[in-house]
Amino acid sequence: MVDPIEFNDALERVDAYLASNDLDAAIEYLRTLHAADSAEIISELEPEQQAAIVELLQTDELADVFEQLDEEDMADVAQHLDVETLADVIDEMEPDRAADLLGELEPEQAAEVIEQMDEPDEVTSLLTHDPDTAGGIMNAPPPRYAASGQLLKPCASSRPSITMKVNSTTSMCSIGMGI
């Protein structure tokens, strides 16, 4: 098990490696972290830094990172990959997250990626769900929380019919569907 990290310290460490052009050390450090931590760090980097990092990560490592990014960050980071590499990464991802990523790409780019995928059927079938249908809601990303327990993105902004109440003293969360 990886020890909990202080996000700002981890980000500063990666920034320091990148500032000294030590990409190998940055990659090795990111590999010691949980994919969610690596994803959060990569999402905070400048686009040029993101490009340098994702170029050196293996396909399976990229898939793990992409699965932890929110949709907007997935699309931003994906812009640093060529179509073939992106297709390989999406092939390694869980189908629902892969569909989320494809849904964030420009339609032309998504079509090119799908053409390059080894087995696109399971992923493309998920692209047919309207976000406001049961299939779309069931495939909605979970809410994200800061270390303090504060909700980073309110559910109401991503799904107007879902409300969430967090009790920070008990770390309990209740979700209600507004019908």
For the entire predicted model, the pTM comes to 0.68
Whether residue 2 is contained in a domain is answered as no
CA distance 19 to 167: 41
Domain with 87 in it? 7-141
CA distance 71 to 141: 9
**Environment class of residue 92 by beta-carbon count within 10 Å: exposed (0-12), middle (13-18) or buried (19+)?**
middle
> Domain check: are 125 and 53 in the same one?
yes
Listed residue (172, 122, 177) closest to 149, CA to CA: 172
Give the pLDDT confidence score for residue 132 in this predicted structure: 60
Whether residue 107 is contained in a domain is answered as yes
> Domain check: are 99 and 173 in the same one?
no
The pLDDT tens digits of the residues spanning 87-96 come to 999 999 999 9
Could you give the number of structural domains in the chain?
A: 2
- Run of H or E including 146: none
Whether residue 72 is contained in a domain is answered as yes
Over range 96-125, report the average pLDDT.
91
Listed residue (148, 151, 146, 147) closest to 165, CA to CA: 151
**b/e burial code for range 127-166 (CB count within 10 A of at least 16 → b):** eebeeeeeeeeebeeebeeeeeeeeeeebeeebeebeeeb
The pLDDT tens digits of the residues spanning 133-154 come to 545 555 555 555 555 555 555 5
> Domain check: are 112 and 49 in the same one?
yes
> Domain check: are 19 and 92 in the same one?
yes
> Domain check: are 127 and 88 in the same one?
yes
